[in-house]
């Protein structure tokens, strides 16, 4: 059965390919069955803590298995995921929470320091919608105006069974703010599933594909890379060390990634600073580029560096 809801993509693949790897991190590997079960547990616990279907849930987390289980867990609970820029300062964080009217803030590992800096601002802002703070270290974050739940990962075989319609809102994705203040684009389950289905078809993605994930999941392009690979049972290789581009290429080689997605600066850095043209990347089947126009000169340089790799220049607005 073709999925009509975003979280059904995870559920369907977990049923078909339970032992297939979904997320590869530097020190851990997670299969579809365990990630789906972890998302079930998070969904059930959020509902037991007072979350209601349709609530906006802010997610502040770096690319990780934690992000993936939280993202799909919120959707399973009928919530709307508001993924936040992990490079935000404390003032922008409060602005995002206010603009999105988030009732819950989920904080991933490594983001505690930002929330601690923002604690006084969050309390002073008196955000009327925000009721719950979720984090492995929620009781240490210093926010006193909301209740806190110290999240511990667990697995539950059964989903929460919340009724969700394809026309229901699934995500609010903030624009970059390049033309002014960032704005939240509202995407339904149907919007996202239709977009994912189209990309899967023209990239010819299968369960054999592995993508090197250097784009942040909070970014609409990064979210698309995650969703497309989950739909087909592919694997997402998380690489958060792109400031060391040679390390990123090492990971691509070692994990035999078949795909790489980036913005123009991604490929400029790999070509100029990481010796992309000198690498033996026989596994790399495709490259996608979006997030802005890439110059003809850089495009030609990339094509010369990867003569046996298909290069797709894509376009997609956050609102789409």
What are the per-10-residue average pLDDT scores of the chain (320 residues)?
93 98 97 98 95 97 97 98 95 94 96 92 86 90 89 89 97 81 92 96 97 97 97 98 96 98 97 94 96 93 96 77
> Which CATH number does the domain 32-188 belong to among 3.30.379.10, 3.40.50.980, 3.40.50.11260, 3.40.50.2000?
3.40.50.980
Pairing of strands 80-83, 169-174: parallel
What is residue 317's predicted lDDT score, i.e. its pLDDT?
A: 61
> In 3D, which of 167, 221, 174 has the Cα closest to residue 189?
167
What is residue 284's predicted lDDT score, i.e. its pLDDT?
A: 98
The yes-or-no answer to whether 32-188 and 189-313 have a common fold is: yes
Where are the domains positioned within the chain? 32-188, 189-313
What is residue 145's predicted lDDT score, i.e. its pLDDT?
A: 86
pTM: 0.96
What is residue 126's predicted lDDT score, i.e. its pLDDT?
A: 79
What is residue 59's predicted lDDT score, i.e. its pLDDT?
A: 98
> In 3D, which of 216, 91, 76 has the Cα closest to residue 156?
76
CATH number of 189-313: 3.40.50.980
């Amino acid at each position: 059965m073709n999925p009509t809801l975003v979280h059904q993509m995870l559920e369907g693949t977990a049923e078909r390919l339970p032992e297939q790897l979904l997320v590869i991190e530097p020190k851990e590997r997670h299969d579809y069955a365990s990630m789906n079960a972890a998302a079930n547990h998070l969904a059930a616990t959020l509902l037991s803590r007072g979350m209601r279907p349709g609530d906006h849930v802010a997610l502040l987390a770096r690319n990780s298995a934690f992000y993936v289980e939280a993202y799909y867990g919120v959707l399973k609970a009928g919530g709307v995921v508001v993924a936040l820029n992990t490079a935000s300062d404390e003032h922008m964080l409060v602005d995002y929470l206010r603009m999105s009217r988030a009732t819950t803030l989920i904080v991933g590992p490594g983001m505690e320091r930002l929330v601690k800096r923002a604690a006084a601002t969050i309390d002073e802002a008196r955000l009327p919608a925000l009721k719950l703070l979720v984090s492995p270290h929620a009781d240490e974050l210093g926010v006193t105006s909301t209740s806190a739940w110290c999240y511990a990962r667990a697995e539950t075989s059964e989903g929460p069974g919340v009724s969700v319609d394809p026309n229901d809102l699934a995500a609010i994705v903030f624009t970059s703010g390049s033309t002014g203040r960032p704005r939240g684009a509202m995407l339904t389950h149907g919007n996202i599933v239709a977009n994912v289905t189209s990309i899967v078809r023209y990239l010819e993605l299968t369960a054999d594909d592995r993508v090197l994930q250097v784009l942040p999941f909070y970014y609409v392009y990064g979210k698309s890379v995650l969703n497309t690979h989950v739909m087909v049972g592919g694997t997402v290789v998380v690489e958060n060390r792109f400031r060391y581009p040679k390390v990123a290429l090492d990971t691509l080689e070692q994990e035999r990634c078949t795909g790489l997605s980036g913005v123009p600066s991604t490929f400029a850095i790999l070509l100029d600073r990481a010796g992309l043209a000198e690498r033996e990347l026989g596994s790399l089947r495709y490259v996608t580029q979006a997030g802005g126009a890439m110059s003809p000169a850089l495009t030609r340089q990339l094509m010369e560096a990867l003569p046996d790799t298909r290069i797709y220049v894509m376009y997609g607005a956050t609102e789409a």
